[in-house]
Structures are given as C-alpha cells and as structure tokens.
Amino acid sequence: MDLQTIKQRFTIVGNSPELNRAIDVARQVAPTDLSVLITGESGVGKEVFSQIIHQYSSRKHGPYIAVNCGAIPEGTIDSELFGHERGSFTGAQEMRKGYFEAANNGTIFLDEVAELPLATQVRLLRVLESGEFLKVGSSKAQKTNVRVVAATNVNLLQSIQTGLFREDLYYRLNTVPIHIPPLRERRDDIYLLFRKFAIDFADRFRMPAVMLSEDAQRFLENYYWPGNVRQLKNVAEQLSVLEKSRRISADVLAHYLPEQAVVNLPMLYHAKPQDANFASERDILYKILFDLRQDMNDLKQVVHGLVNGAIPAAPDVTVVPAIDRKPASYSSHFSANVTDETEELTDDETGDETDETLLLHEKTAELIQKALERHHGKRKLAAKELGISERTLYRRIKEYGLEEIE
C-alpha cells in the first residue's frame, strides 16, 4: 500500500511534499481506532482523507456515514446524531435511530465539526470517552463501537478561546492531526489538476478538452485560489462549456476568476525574490504615511479656520448651563494661546513643509509607478489598489510625468 496506489484509487492528483505527508499520515493511522482531526481550508478535499482512513482500516466492511454538522439545524442535530424516542418532542411520531447507532462497527465522518452547539459537544465527548450515548427523550445509555473522523476549516484553538468549542473535546478529536495544504501552496499541482478536470469533463460529454496557453498557465498557477480544488474544478468546467475556442488565453481565463483575488496577489509584483516582501511592506507604509499626511493637513486647515473665524460654528451647538461654563478669561486665554502657537508653527515649519512636500511627491510618484508596474499598466487595477479613482490616478500620472506601461 504505497502512496501512488492510494492516489490512483482515490484519484488524488499532485506530488507536493505537504500533500504526500498528509496521505502518509492517513495511511499509517488507518489500521488503528484512534480519532483523527482533519484540518484545511474549504474545498481542499478533506472528505477524501476520511475515506482513505475508513477503506484501509479493519472497519472497511462496516458502514461509513458522512455528516455535515453545519447543514443540520441546531434544534434537530441531537436527534440526527443520537436518535430520539417516540413522543420525545413535537413531531416525534416514532422512535428513530441516530447516525452513531447506524454507524456501529463503522466510521462516522463529522465535517464542519466546529459548527456543533456546545450541548451537542458534551454528548459527543461522552461517545469518544466511553462509547455511550443517550437518545433524545431517553434515560437509558446505549453503547456504540464507532470510529470518529472529524474535519474543520476553522481554527479550533481560537474557537476555544472565544468559548465556542470545548477544549477537552478538541484534544479527544485531535489524537492524530492531518493538515491538508491549500492549493496555492501546491503550485506545481495546479496545472495537473486543471488538465485532469478538463479531460474528465471532455470525456464525459464527448468534446475536445480545453488547453491553456503559456501565459494562461502562468496566470492559473499564480492565482490565489480561495476556493481551492473545488474552485479550480468549477473554472475548468465553465471554460469547457462556455468557450468555443479550445485554446484559452490569460485574458479569457481572467474573466472566470474574481478580480479581488487577482489584485491581492503578491506574485504579480515582479521584484527580486529576496526584495519582494520588503518592497510590498514599504509600499504599504508609504501609502499609510501619505494618507496620514493628508489627514494632518486637513486638520490643520480646520483648526486654523476655527481660530480665525473663517469656519462658522455649527448651528446646533448644545447650550451649556451657566454653572458649567468656563470664565470668559479662560476662553480668551485659550484662543490667544492657540493663535500664538499656530503662528509660531506656521513660521517655524514653512521651510520644513516645503522639503516634506517634495519628499511626499517623490514617494507618491514612486508608489503610483510601482502599482502600475504590478498591474502591467492597467490603471483601473492600480487605482483600486491605491484606493483612489481612475480619474484621479490619471491626473497624478500627468502631474508627475510618469510613463504609462503598455
């Protein structure tokens, strides 16, 4: 039972070390009865690993039941999992077996286990500790011999800190952890998966399979893939159905991928590998300083206008009772001090502001130029990243004499 045999049996495509490690752990833990917690983002294929564990265990001839805990309403989940007695609640016309009773001598897969209510978590903990459970409306404990494999896309340690998940249940489930890497961490596998999905779809509907150009292949591998393998399969099937041409370019492929995920891609910045993170953080810092500088300038103008009476007071000012008002001398003294300090600030900082303004213009121009480079001269994407309108970006390009990238 080697890795290649398991991949062929369960149609797993990929050769990344993290994926191979996850398969190897599933293979080693399968013959035991230990509880397993599978973690990973939505769409990475966590249920496949629970099937591997079941099929290579001594329970492979017993029942295998997969339960999506997030799809069952809170009011009925105890009945679904543990069953209920007749008349135990309104609508309970007859006794019903729960999943834990039905899966006796087999495996139960609890997907999205973090969605379980706290009361149900207590019931599940008892099953894991003693193999006993109570049906809803019954006081008689029943035994079950079932192996529990759980999965979640939630950070359970954070859920424990917020009181949404029991710590004792976490350690009972997490006897053997298996982490499935997201698709963006398996970049060498992305094109292989796409080809598999495209060929499978073409064989099923007897049509030519779609092919990707070199630039489309690079675009595919550099995409963030928030929906992971599930999203990649959907894209392959959409292209197969909707595109008449069987050769797909990067421009065509981009129409099938959400723009927001493309904008946030760090790999679109063509810097040297060792400088990429530094450059990205520096650009973010420049943008923050630029916004802060503008806010400070606006605040100075407002304060200066209030002091000189250029900005009238708001008409709906609340009248302060006479007992709470400050003496007139306090008010006059405050205004005089503010005026003096404003004049001193203006006189002392005039020269410094000129230098700061020139430096700010240089940094702003640099920030805009790099944003244009990252998005290959596409002003719309660059403007969105900078948080300004496309028209404003166009004016800044002309103002600073920047070269637009074709």
Of 100, 23, 28, which Cα lies nearest the Cα of 63?
A: 100
- Decide if 140 contacts 132 (C-beta within 8 A): no
DSSP assigned state of 141: E
Phi-psi map region of 400: left, alpha, beta (phi>0 left; psi -120 to 50 alpha):
alpha
SS3 at position 303: helix
Question: Positive or negative CA dihedral for 365, 371, 372, 373?
Answer: positive
| pLDDT in 10s for each residue of the chain, 406 residues | 689 999 999 999 999 999 999 999 999 999 999 999 999 999 999 999 999 999 999 999 999 999 999 999 988 999 999 998 887 777 777 888 999 999 999 999 999 999 999 999 999 999 999 999 999 988 889 999 999 999 999 999 999 999 999 999 999 999 999 999 999 999 999 999 999 999 999 999 999 999 999 999 999 999 999 999 999 999 999 999 999 999 999 999 999 998 754 444 444 433 334 444 444 555 566 666 667 777 777 777 766 666 565 555 444 444 444 434 444 444 444 344 444 444 444 444 445 555 556 666 777 788 888 888 887 788 888 877 777 887 787 778 888 777 666 5
Integer Cα distance of 267 and 261 in angstroms: 12
* DSSP code string of 151-164: EESS-HHHHHHTTS
Q: Which residue has the tokens 């393998």?
A: 229
Residue type, 51: Q
Phi-psi map region of 157: left, alpha, beta (phi>0 left; psi -120 to 50 alpha):
alpha
Integer Cα distance of 23 and 5 in angstroms: 11
pTM of full prediction above 0.75: no
DSSP assigned state of 136: B
Integer Cα distance of 99 and 81 in angstroms: 5
Integer Cα distance of 128 and 145 in angstroms: 10
Domain boundaries, the chain: 3-181, 185-266, 273-312+329-340+352-400
- Decide if 40 contacts 180 (C-beta within 8 A): yes
The tokens of 196 are what?
């598999």
Across the strands, what pairs with 39? 152, 179
* DSSP code string of 331-385: HHHHHHHHHHHHHHHHHHHHHHHHHHHHHHHHHHHHHHHHHHHHTTT-HHHHHHH
CATH topology of domain 3-181: Rossmann fold (3.40.50)
SS3 at position 193: helix
- Decide if 12 contacts 48 (C-beta within 8 A): yes
Q: What is the pLDDT of residue 367?
A: 81
Q: What sections of 131-249 are H helices per DSSP?
A: 156-161, 167-173, 187-205, 214-222, 228-242
The tokens of 67 are what?
């339960």
Q: Which helix (H) or strand (E) holds 386?
A: helix 379-386
CATH topology of domain 185-266: Helicase, Ruva Protein; domain 3 (1.10.8)
Q: Which residue has the tokens 């397993």?
A: 36
Of 263, 194, 250, which Cα lies nearest the Cα of 224?
A: 263
Q: What is the pLDDT of residue 391?
A: 78
DSSP assigned state of 260: H
Q: Same CATH topology for 3-181 and 185-266? A: no
